[in-house]
Amino acid sequence: MDADPSVEVATFGAGCFWCVEAVFNELKGVRSVVSGYMGGPLKNPTYEQICTGQTGHAEVAQVTFDPEQIRFEELLEVFWKTHDPTTLNRQGNDKGTQYRSAVFYHSDQQRQLAETFKQKLRDAGVDVVTEITAADVFYPAEDYHQDFFAQNNGHPYCTFVVRPKVEKVREVFADKLRDEGRS
């Protein structure tokens, strides 16, 4: 399959990938968001293996976006404002290395932008622990994890954890939302 030259890819780890996927699916210019795993040496890991904390992978969302509609810098702003980048290997009650805060960059420009943004936060007194590292092999998560919030928005985790993040994006980033409504 040939790559589409009009799009770019960004990969973020910010806790449970259900949250990250739901947040980025709200944004205009985002063509797709796929939940998956990155950052560990095990090939083709499963969710059950990731949950042991022994594989080294993070739960991530891989975002394919149109940079003419939304810039990587804007994605970074959403990333840092929709999770806690100050807690090591934890987001809320989700604990373990698979929930670490991470930007897996796909180009030197993405690396530089992520490092600049992280430094601005540190200069503002925020003790950021976000990992900024080169993207490696992306393993899509199992089918039942894809579009989890959209398909299971009554699930307790979605109600109490994912929905508040989506609502925050809708409020704080109203100018960056898709034109069509989403539930």
Model confidence over 35-52: pLDDT tens digits?
A: 999 999 999 999 999 999
pTM of the model: 0.94
Closest CA to 182 of 25, 69, 21: 25
Q: What is the pLDDT of residues 39-92, one digit of tens each?
A: 999 999 999 999 999 999 999 999 999 999 999 999 999 999 999 999 999 999
The pLDDT value given to residue 131: 97
8-176 CATH, one of 3.50.50.60, 3.30.1060.10, 3.30.1330.10, 3.90.1180.10: 3.30.1060.10
- Please compute the mean of the pLDDT values over residues 164-175 and round it to a whole number: 96
- Decide which of 179 and 146 is more confident: 146
Closest to 120 measured CA to CA, from 84, 87, 169, 80: 80
> Does position 180 have pLDDT exceeding 70, yes or no?
no
Instruction: Write the single-letter amino acid at 48.
Output: E
Per-residue pLDDT, averaged over 172-180, amounts to 90
Decide if 16 is catalytic. Answer: yes
The two structure tokens encoding residue 50 = 């990731």
| Cα–Cα dist 93/39, whole Å | 22
Q: Please identify which of the residues 16, 19, 51, 158 carries the catalytic annotation.
A: 16
pLDDT of residue 182: 42
Nearest to 79 by CA among 107, 114, 112, 124: 114
Report the distance separating Cα 120 and Cα 128, nearest Å.
10
Q: Among the listed ranges 44-53, 100-109, 174-183, which one has the minimum average pLDDT value?
A: 174-183
Domain ranges of the chain: 8-176
Count CB-CB contacts under 10 A for residue 78.
Answer: 24
Helix (H) / strand (E) element for 157: namely helix 156-157
